[in-house]
Structure 1
Amino acid sequence: MVTGIRRGAAPAPAPQPPGTAGPREPETAPRTGDTRLEAELRRLVGSVPDPELPVLTLAELGVVRGARLLGPGRAEVTLTPTYTGCPAIETMTADIERVLHDHGIPDVSVVRVLSPAWSTDDISAEGRRKLAEFGIAPPRPHAAAGPSGPLPLTLSVRCPHCGSTETELLSRFSSTACKALRRCVACREPFDHFKEL
């Protein structure tokens, strides 16, 4: 018997309308065949805040590729960093280990997986909403046009403060390498823009 994980039902994934393209289903969502303990493990791992963007969880950011129980007191988590040299991966690993240790799993292995590469399409709809609410312009989803549809021609970035699309690039890099610094021409407020990857 695996001990330490608090039992409880994991939230059901939100249904998507048929025919809509969107990010890949996060590995923290319950899967067919998951036991309640495995679903709880995935929920715990997915609920860890991102160290650079604490408004998002790792599940919302889309970096958790898997979480599974290997036996009593043993778990393996697979993560894909937002880019190969991401310095936050060490903190993510330590935070995941701490959360699982706190829930009675002493042996935690966090494995980095680089393929398939992380994409901004992996950010959940809730994650995009939270970024905008936090004042960071979220990336445009590449999958929105569908696998064979036309590419959107709109290149404007919407200001998260006033909603204007009249914005200008101030710097290709901001507080982290995955964000650019922009300014709104309408309200004159600077803001971060999560770059499309």
Structure 2
Amino acid sequence: MKEVLAEKLYSIGCVKIGEFKLTSGLTSPIYVDLRILPSYPREFKWIIGKVIEVLKGVNFDVVCGLAVGGIPLATAVAYELEKPLIYVRKKAKEHGTMRLIEGVFEKGMKAIIVDDVATTGSTLIRGVKALQGNGIDVEAALVIVDREQGAGEALKQLKVPLLRLSTLRELLEDLFNKGYISYETFLKVRNYLEGVCGHA
């Protein structure tokens, strides 16, 4: 499954090699842009199917997307599973309801959080705290790609497991093994990832 995921993401331009500044402020030679994924319905549908497989065995009442990248993914998952959808805004509205969480929910509900990519986990942690602050239990957080730069450990402190379809290192290895990137590129990015993720 992970080899196919790498191929699909690379073929539609979701995985880019170059020099990129991440949300966390870090610079990276590899970038995963899943915001364009819904523009490719076949690949999007396949990935949503894999997300649903990963979620088997997780007990939850509501699906929560994180703005912006997690909302299309969470919407598709909620639709397929016939579960309610809520989402956490980047910041509370400054007018109207002034809400940080949009959608209908009740205290005591069990939620899963869906986002596109995890780096340090700052966005996921903000989402978890927003839900917990409103009386919602977070059963798990799920991302398509985990960059392994601290998100899993940070969420563990909040007793929230991080589920993923793939790590960035796995994507890199699969792209190299399939001939999509050169050995030189593979080494450059691998060395970067080992520096920021450790050697585990």
TM range (shorter): under 0.3
Higher helix share: 2
TM-score scaled by structure 2? 0.25
Higher strand share: 2
TM-score scaled by structure 1? 0.25
